Amino acid sequence: MLKRLTEEKLEEILEAGITEFGEQGFEKTSMSRVAGRAGISVGVLYKYYGDKDGFFLACVKKSMQELERTLSETTSREEKLLQYAERLIQALQQHCREHPSHIRMYHELTCGSAARFVPALTQEIESLSARLYTSMTERAQREGKIRRDADPGLFAFFFDNLLMMLQFSYCCDYYRARFALYCGGAVPDGGRQVEAELLKFLESAFTTEQAQIPHREER
């Protein structure tokens, strides 16, 4: 009879899986190595999660729960969009420091050997941030806080892409090297400089009206 594992042990197993998937990618991940990391037999791993696909999906769900917690903690206040953006950037930088393997696993899902899971997971993973960023943009437009000539959905999409690339740049080798190249050879450690410069970029995007941009004037 299979001994029931504690919630703490299940958390440990999923974290071991997230680390393995993040480091090795889906195809090269070994269930035996995951079991070894977690201090259990590989048989127990298969009995709980069925197969490698099922275990991967459980790891993704666990990772998304952590990210959702981070996002929900930044949306509890009524505030201006740029103030929210500042807190969100800070929260995501902290999330990267605490959960780098989660970001690497997400990167694997977006472009690696796990891409075949995308049709089943895109709605579940992306719908929260899509709704959140779109509604925040729409509210700011209604309040006259940001430019009104932008499409809220596309604005939210571009905003999310900036934040996604920032996370990859802290946690994934290629993007980290690319980050260092743009920063003159070293990735900023503290994050405050990155936060400040990104907010300047966002402020200009959010607040500049079309009529104020010379190359967009009607000819």
pLDDT at 66: 87
pLDDT at 77: 59
Q: What's the maximum distance between 2 C-alpha atoms anywhere in the chain?
A: 78
pLDDT at 21: 94
Query: DSSP string spanning 138-150?
Result: HHHHHTTSS-SSS
Amino acid letter for position 119: P
Tens digit of each residue's pLDDT (9 = 90 or more) over 150-208: 899 999 999 999 999 999 999 999 999 999 999 887 777 667 888 899 999 888 877 75
Q: Which residues contact 136 (CB under 8 A, 6 or more apart)?
A: 81, 84, 156
The whole model's pTM is what? Answer: 0.83
With a cut of 60, say whether residue 214 has pLDDT above it: no
pLDDT at 1: 46
What three-state secondary structure class fits 188? Answer: coil
Across the chain, the runs of DSSP E, i.e. the strands, are none
Percentage helix, strand, coil, to 5, in the chain? 80, 0, 20
Q: How far apart are CA 82 and CA 51, in angstroms?
A: 44
pLDDT at 139: 87
With a cut of 80, say whether residue 53 has pLDDT above it: yes
Angle formed at CA 96 by CA 95 and CA 100, multiple of 5 degrees: 120
Tens digit of each residue's pLDDT (9 = 90 or more) over 63-122: 988 888 887 777 655 667 788 888 889 999 999 989 999 999 998 888 767 778 888 788
Answer for the pair 86, 195: CB distance below 8 angstroms, yes or no: yes
Q: How far apart are CA 188 and CA 111, in angstroms?
A: 26
